[in-house]
Amino acid sequence: MLDRALRDASPEEVIATALRAVGRDRLALVSSFGTESAALLKVMADVDPAIPVIFLDTGWLFAETLAYRDSLIAVLGLRDVRSVKPSQAAVDATDPDRDLWFSDPDACCRIRKVEPLARALQPFDAWINGRKRFQGGARGAIAVVEDDGIRLKFNPFANVSRERVAAIYTEANLPPHPLAASGYLSVGCMPCTSRSAPGEDARAGRWRGRAKTECGIHTTSLSPLAGRGSG
C-alpha cells in the first residue's frame, strides 16, 4: 500500500512516487496560492515543474492572491498552471446577487470550488494537495496517500511541521503571500477570510463565527457526476 510505503517519506519522495505511479499527464497538483502554498509548489517544481497545477479562481479571490499566483509562476518556473473558474450558468442560477457566501456558504463553495475542481480533475488519475496535520481539525489525522474514490490523493506535507514549512521558505528565499504580514495566516475568498489573532489557529480566520471549517473539496466526492450538476 502506497500510504504505508510513504508514511515517513519526504515531500519530494512523495511527489516523485506519485509521478512514477501515474505519469505527468495523469497527475495534477491543486493549489490555492495561499499563505503556505509556495513551499509545496517549490518542492513540486524541483521534482518536475511541468506537472499541471490547478488553481480555482472563484471570482471572490483577493487581488493579492491573483498577483501572488503570477509571481510564483515566474519565480518557480511553473510550466502548466491552469486557472479554473466556476460555471457562469451555475453562478447566474444560484448566486445572481453574489450573496450566497453569506446565506449558504456551503452552496457557494460547491458552485465556486467543488464543482469546478471535479470538472478539472476528470482527466487525472491522481492529485496532490497541501494539507498538513498541524493545521488541526479534520486535517489532524490525514494519511500521506488516500484513496479518493476514483483517483489517488497525495498529501506530501501531511507530516511536515510548521517549522519545516517556514524553513523551505527561508532556504529557497520564497516570497510570502502579500497578505501574510497583515495577519492573514490562511487566505481564501474575500468574504469568508479574516485576520487571525496572535495565538489563534492558522485557519481560525476562515469562515469565522461558523461551524464550517472546510470548503468541501476535501470532504465531498469529486467523481465526474459531482462535476456536472449545474454546469
Q: Report, as residue numbers or ranges, the catalytic residues.
A: 215
What distance in Å separates the CA atoms of residue 143 and residue 129, rounded to the nearest whole number? Answer: 12
Angle between helix 37-47 and 63-76 (nearest 10):
30
Write the DSSP string, 169-210: HHHHTPPPPTTGGGT-SS--BGGGB-PPPTTS-TTTTBSTTS
Q: Is the dihedral angle over the CA atoms 206, 208, 213, 217 positive or is it negative? A: negative
Compute the 3-state secondary structure of the chain and give helix, strand, coil in percent, each to the nearest 5: 45, 10, 45
Backbone angles phi, psi at 82, to 5 degrees: -110, 110
In the DSSP assignment, the letter for residue 61 is B
Cell of 129: 494537495
What distance in Å separates the CA atoms of residue 211 and residue 149, rounded to the nearest whole number? Answer: 26
**Cβ neighbours of residue 67 under 8 Å, at least 6 residues apart?**
178
What distance in Å separates the CA atoms of residue 180 and residue 51, rounded to the nearest whole number? Answer: 27
